[in-house]
Amino acid sequence: TLFCARSYRKLPGLYDVVFKAAVLGQADRGLETTLVLSGVTYEKALRLSRDYLEKISWKE
């Protein structure tokens, strides 16, 4: 899992964020996903990333 945030120089409190995650479901199945956010607060980025990851589930 990767969470990278870069602040705006001229807009204090706002960030561009990249969130990446990889999940293995079984030995031969996996998922890589990326969430890109622009112009969000750090707290909102954390919350959205957490909610995004919690929504991932395997359906057989």
Q: What is the pLDDT of residues 19-60, one digit of tens each?
A: 999 988 788 889 999 999 999 999 999 999 999 999 988 777
Distances (CA, A) of 38 to 23, 48, 51: 24, 12, 17
For 4-60, the DSSP string reads: EEEE-SSSTT-EEEEEEEEEEEETTEEEEEEEEEEEE-HHHHHHHHHHHHHT-----
- Give the domain ranges of the chain: 2-54
Which residues touch 22 (CB under 8 Å, ≥6 apart)? 1, 30, 31, 32, 33
Interval 5-22: pLDDT, tens: 999 999 999 999 999 999
